Amino acid sequence: MKETTEKKISCFTKWNQVYPKRLLHHPSMPDQLYVMGSLPQENVPAVAIVGARMCSYYGQVQAFEYARVLSEAGVQIISGMARGIDGYAHRGALAGGSPTFAVLGCGIDVCYPKSNYDLYKKIPAQGGVLSEFPMGYPPLAHNFPLRNRIISGLADIVLVIEAKEKSGSLITVDLALEQGKSVYALPGRVCDELSRGCNQLISQGAAVAYSPETILSELCIDTDKKAELSQKKKIRLESKKNMVYSCLDLEPQNLNKILEQVSLSYEETTRILLELELDGLIIESMKNYYARVK
C-alpha cells in the first residue's frame, strides 16, 4: 500500500556527513538511506528489539515493557515495524518518550504491514522511518533479511524477545555478531515453541535479558537514577481515565466488555484507551483487546 505523507522524505548517501556513522564501519551497508523524520543520534545508546511476528501475549507484554523502560532511560529503540514483537517494541518506545526508528523492507512511502499504519504515522514525529529501497519499492520477501543488517548495524545491543528455532530474528543475531554487537535473549519456558530460539541463543552464549536493567547496566546507564526519575514520573490518573483503567486486568479484556462497565461513549472510551496505551499503562494485545502492563 503506497501512502502519501506530509512528512518530508530525505535521501542521504554514504558521502553525506549525516549518514549514520554506526553503519560506515560495515562495508555491506547501502550507499543511500531514505529517511522520513530523523536519523538516530550518534552519541546516544541504541538497542534493537526483534522477535516473532506471530508472538505470544507474553512476548507482546515483554517487548512493550523492555522498550518502554529503555526508552524512559534515554535509549533509542530500533526495530523493523513488522507485526508482533517489532510493533510492540515501537509502541513501548513511543510510550517511554525517547526516539524510535523503523527500518522498512520496502520503499519509505509504502506502509507495510497495513496493520501498523498508526506507527507509520507516529514514529517520524518521535524518531524516524528508514529504508534503503527507492520510493514505491514493494515489500518483497527477500528484502526483509537484507534490511536486518541495518537494524543490527544501527544498534549497540540486539535484544531478541521471542523466536522459533528457525526464525528471521536469528538472521539479525548472526549479523549482529558479525558486526561485533552484544546479543541478549529473553528466556522462556522450554516447552514453548516461541522461546526455543531464545533459549538456544542463551545456551550458545547470548546474554540473558533478566530485566531491562541488565541491558541498561551494559550501556553504563545508572539504573538507580533511572528508577528515581521513573518514580517522579508516575501518572496520577484523571477520574475518567481511572474508570477505564480500573476495568482492566493482566488478562486481556474485549472493548465491548469495557464499554458495558463504564458510563462513557464509544468515542471517549477508545480515546482514553489510546491515552493509557501511550502512557505505557496498558497494551492492546490484539485488535480491541486491552490489558494492563505489569
Predicted local distance difference test score (pLDDT) of residue 228: 54
Predicted local distance difference test score (pLDDT) of residue 255: 92
For residue 95, tell me if it sits in a domain. yes
Per residue in 195-220, pLDDT (tens digit) is 999 999 999 999 999 999 999 999 99
Predicted local distance difference test score (pLDDT) of residue 262: 80
Question: Is 179 exposed, middle or buried, given 0-12, 13-18 or 19+ CB atoms closer than 10 A?
Answer: middle
What CATH number is given to the structural domain containing 180?
3.40.50.450
For residue 233, tell me if it sits in a domain. no
Domain count, the chain: 2
Predicted local distance difference test score (pLDDT) of residue 6: 53
For residue 215, tell me if it sits in a domain. yes
**Residue 112 and residue 74 share a domain:** yes
**Residue 222 and residue 191 share a domain:** yes
**Residue 148 and residue 65 share a domain:** yes
**Residue 142 and residue 261 share a domain:** no
Sites in the chain below the pLDDT cut of 50? 1-5, 229, 232-236
Predicted local distance difference test score (pLDDT) of residue 92: 93
**Residue 215 and residue 256 share a domain:** no
Predicted local distance difference test score (pLDDT) of residue 284: 87
**Residue 255 and residue 137 share a domain:** no
What CATH number is given to the structural domain containing 270?
1.10.10.10
Picking from 171, 21, 7, the residue whose alpha carbon sits closest to that of residue 82 is: 171
Per residue in 233-244, pLDDT (tens digit) is 444 456 788 788
**Residue 287 and residue 175 share a domain:** no
For residue 1, tell me if it sits in a domain. no
Predicted local distance difference test score (pLDDT) of residue 32: 96
For residue 96, tell me if it sits in a domain. yes
**Residue 44 and residue 94 share a domain:** yes
For residue 3, tell me if it sits in a domain. no
For residue 214, tell me if it sits in a domain. yes
**Residue 143 and residue 251 share a domain:** no
Predicted local distance difference test score (pLDDT) of residue 41: 95
CB atoms within 10 A of CB 224: 8
Q: What range does the domain containing 261 cover? A: 239-292
**Residue 155 and residue 68 share a domain:** yes
Domain boundary among 228, 258, 273: 228
For residue 91, tell me if it sits in a domain. yes
